[in-house]
Amino acid sequence: MKKISILGATGSIGVNTLKVIKSLGKEYKVVGLTAGGNVNLLVKQIKEFQPEIVALMDEEKGRELEKKLSKCKYKPAHIFYGLKGLVKVATYSKSNFLVSSLVGAVGLIPTLEAIRKRKTIALANKEILVMAGEIIIREALKYKIQILSLDSEHSAIFQCLRGEKKKEVRKIILTASGGPFYRYSSQNLQKVTVAEALNHPTWSMGKKITIDSATLMNKGLELIEAHYLFDINIDKIQIVVHPQSIVHSMVEFVDGAVIAQLGIADMRLPLQFALTYPCRQKSNLPALNLEKLNSLSFDKPDFKRFPCLRLAIKAAGKRGSMPTVLNAANEVAVDSFLNGKIKFMDIPVLIQYAMNKHKLINNPTLEDILEVDSWTRNKMKEVIN
Ligand code: MG
């Protein structure tokens, strides 16, 4: 039986995970949930899924949660607050499977602690692999736990690699939708508004990842994610723009054969794959209708108009603490864009600035990484204000 805890239950991944769990039946039990500050939705989820342990990141909303729960028939046995609360849920002894779907660096410590308690990790929180990939993979190997990516691309690559030998892989072909502005000129990119950037053509997701998809930073983060998850050199990962988001990624082998995984653009597909792995289970999602597809197209990404992609590759090449800077600078820049403080095309300029100012640390420890992360955030806030 899979006893599941979800970090970030009220976010887009969390909500969809709960939908999938509900459709899968009795072998899947929700034991832990965490939320940022969305008390109403959390209470609704508590009533429906009856978790044993719950944590709320926003401690100030604790009273509101307690008040709402006092009127409920069901109350979780354990309720915690803040980052410590997230760690309690992530490491809860009665769960064996963690859906790590927080957004950004905040998920690092709870996920690492869960690895050390030997939970299987279903990872949507790709930022933590970018900021501390070497440490996470080292710990996963040490504690012999599996990390299953919830990213459609990485789920696809994982499926293409099943039963294959690593040394027979020539390259990984990572597909990118291109986001809403793929055909925009450099001039028009300067005028992009928040509402336009939040309107993704093929995927319905949370705000941070939707902006990352529009700048193509998401693909840069995914490149680094693939590098760590599949232990493959950055120069063996090719990015191709595939606007239909039907081919979720591909693997090319030494004999020239290319294996692709296809499916509809719905995050519940990779979610269900991770939850049921190593088995497959019947799904109630619509099937892929090939006859309705006019064509599938593949194109080179434009590094000039989308400099975030170039910056991600540069950070990955420098290794050490540079991807940590890339990730933290991007988080602050995206947040500032969403709050109207900077323009869309300021995002790469500011990330480049932080990367230029940073003194590289090779083989950083966890302490180094946390320090570099906060240094970068301060540097970014300073220059934005
Ligand atoms: Mg993805």
86 and 104 together in one domain: yes
Coil, helix or strand at residue 77: coil
383 in a domain, yes or no?
no
pLDDT of 351? 98
Is 224:323 a contact under the CB 8 Å cutoff? Answer: yes
Per-residue DSSP letters for 182-237?
A: TT--HHHHTT--HHHHT--SS----HHHHHHHHHTHHHHHHHHHHHHHTT--GGGE
282 and 173 together in one domain: yes
pLDDT of 47? 98
pLDDT of 294? 84
pLDDT of 221? 97
314 in a domain, yes or no?
no
pLDDT of 131? 97
C-alpha 47 – ligand 1 centre gap (Å): 31
Is 151:126 a contact under the CB 8 Å cutoff? Answer: yes
59 and 136 together in one domain: yes
Of 303, 325, 356, at which residue does a domain stop? 303
pTM for the whole thing? 0.95
55 and 8 together in one domain: yes
C-alpha 151 – ligand 1 centre gap (Å): 4
373 in a domain, yes or no?
no
Number of structural domains in the chain: 2
138 in a domain, yes or no?
yes
267 and 145 together in one domain: no
C-alpha 50 – ligand 1 centre gap (Å): 30
Kindly list the distances between the CA atom of residue 125 and the CA atoms of 6, 43, 99, in Å, as whole numbers in the listed order.
Answer: 12, 23, 9
Of 276, 303, 330, at which residue does a domain stop? 303
216 in a domain, yes or no?
yes
C-alpha 129 – ligand 1 centre gap (Å): 14
Structural Rg of the chain based on CA atoms: 20
Is 246:288 a contact under the CB 8 Å cutoff? Answer: yes
Between CA 247 and CA 176 the distance in angstroms is 10
C-alpha 188 – ligand 1 centre gap (Å): 25
111 in a domain, yes or no?
yes
C-alpha 175 – ligand 1 centre gap (Å): 9
285 and 174 together in one domain: yes
C-alpha 78 – ligand 1 centre gap (Å): 34
C-alpha 210 – ligand 1 centre gap (Å): 10
Residues with CB under 5 A from ligand 1 (ion): 151, 153
287 in a domain, yes or no?
yes
C-alpha 209 – ligand 1 centre gap (Å): 9
C-alpha 133 – ligand 1 centre gap (Å): 17
Between CA 315 and CA 311 the distance in angstroms is 6
Of 286, 303, 320, at which residue does a domain stop? 303
Structural domain range at position 38: 2-149
10-residue mean pLDDT profile of the chain (385 residues): values are 98 97 96 98 98 97 96 96 98 98 95 98 97 97 98 98 97 96 95 94 87 96 97 97 97 98 96 98 94 92 96 96 98 97 98 98 97 98 95
20 and 113 together in one domain: yes
C-alpha 293 – ligand 1 centre gap (Å): 21
201 in a domain, yes or no?
no
